[in-house]
Structures are given as C-alpha cells and as structure tokens.
C-alpha cells in the first residue's frame, strides 16, 4: 500500500512537471514574435562581382625601383577584407616590398609575408569602412635584376570578403607583365 502511494505521488509530480513545461513552451511560443517564422539569412551568395588586376599600364620605374599597382574593381560588392596571394620570378626581382594602396582608408594589415626564395607575396588587408568602387589595392615595389619583362601572377588562393555575402566575391583576376627598360 505504501509503495502504491509513493508511485501515485511520483506519477502526480511527473504530470505536474510536464504541465509546467508545456505551459512555458506555450507562453514562449505565444508571445515571441518570430517563433515559427523562417529565419532570414544574415548573408547570401548573390554574385561575385569583384575583379583584381595587375595594372601593368600604370607601372613605373623610379630610380632603380619598379612600382607595380594591383587594382580592385568591386562591381556591386561592398568589400571589407582582401587576402591577396601573388607570385613572381624571384630571379628577376629583389628587394621586394608591398604596401597598401588608396582603396581602403587606413587599412589594417592582418598578414604580410614576402618569400623572395619562392617568389610569393601574401598580404591580407581589412577595413572598418568597407567600400565599393575602383582603386589601387596595393603597390609592389622591387628592384629588377635585369632589363626584361616581369610577370606578376594573382594566385587562385586569393579571397575577397564583402558585406552580406557568403564566401569569396572574387570573380576574376588579370595577371600583368611589365617591360623593364
């Protein structure tokens, strides 16, 4: 008889507990404005419209240095971060450096690695003021070892982030060859 009373009391407590949980769920569901509504995505994959180009036409020689700009055209994207991977012939260029251009105002340099043995450059720039438009993203400065043509290659590892977009918005790249006088 005592066991039956304990089981009955336990069963009553379980029913009461489930009723309280049900009431809480009902109240939350009833008074929360977005419950049951599909969530709006915070970012979507629209169109990758941003292009990068080695601007060989605006490369210039200053003393014994060669300056080669890399330009960005965001299309309709609002760009906030660029991770740029470049390649060059390390036998043709020495004293290689890279600096942000005028596209971002006061960009943060997240990464900057120049490997003159392998002929690679990685620079990652971010801006607290994302923007659209066309401008000079970075400028490579180097000393050419001989009078010849120098090619700068934009590697496929390059990624560009834009506001409201998932994944990279880089749509195309254009390498450039500069004739060294």
Kindly report the number of other CB atoms within 10 A of residue 100's CB atom.
20
What does the alpha-carbon distance between residue 63 and residue 178 come to, in Å, rounded to a whole number? 16
Q: What pTM value is reported for the model?
A: 0.75
Contact 163, 80 (CB under 8 A): yes
Q: Which fold has domain 50-179?
A: Immunoglobulin-like (2.60.40)
For 94-104, the pLDDT digits (tens) are 999 999 999 99
For 136-172, the pLDDT digits (tens) are 999 999 999 988 899 999 999 999 999 999 899 999 9
Contact 163, 127 (CB under 8 A): no
Instruction: Please report the pLDDT score of residue 180 as a whole number.
Output: 86
Which residue has tokens 């009833």? 30
What does the alpha-carbon distance between residue 109 and residue 111 come to, in Å, rounded to a whole number? 6
What does the alpha-carbon distance between residue 163 and residue 79 come to, in Å, rounded to a whole number? 6
Buried b (16+ CB within 10 A) or exposed e, 40-53: eeeeeeeebbbbbb
Residues of the chain with pLDDT under 70: 1-3, 6-7, 10-11, 14, 16-46
3-state secondary structure of 11: helix
**Torsion sign over Cα 124, 129, 130, 135:** negative
Contact 124, 82 (CB under 8 A): yes
Nearest to 131 by CA among 172, 81, 71, 70: 81
């Amino acid at each position: 008889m005592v066991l039956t009373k304990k089981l009955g009391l336990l069963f009553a407590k379980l029913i009461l507990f489930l009723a309280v949980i049900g009431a809480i769920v009902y109240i939350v569901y009833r008074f929360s404005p977005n419950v049951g509504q599909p969530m709006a995505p915070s970012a979507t994959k629209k169109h990758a419209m941003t292009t990068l180009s080695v601007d060989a036409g605006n490369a210039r020689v200053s003393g014994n240095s060669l300056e080669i700009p890399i330009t960005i055209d965001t299309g309709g994207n609002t760009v906030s971060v660029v991770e740029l991977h470049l390649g060059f012939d390390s036998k043709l260029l020495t004293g290689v450096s890279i600096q942000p251009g005028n596209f971002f105002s006061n960009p943060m340099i997240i990464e900057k690695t120049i490997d003159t043995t392998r002929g690679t450059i990685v620079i990652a720039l971010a801006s607290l003021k994302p923007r659209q438009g066309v401008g000079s993203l970075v400028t490579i400065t180097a000393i050419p070892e001989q009078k010849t043509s120098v090619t700068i290659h934009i590697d496929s590892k390059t990624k560009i982030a834009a506001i409201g977009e998932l994944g990279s918005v880089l749509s195309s790249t254009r390498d450039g060859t500069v004739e060294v006088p």
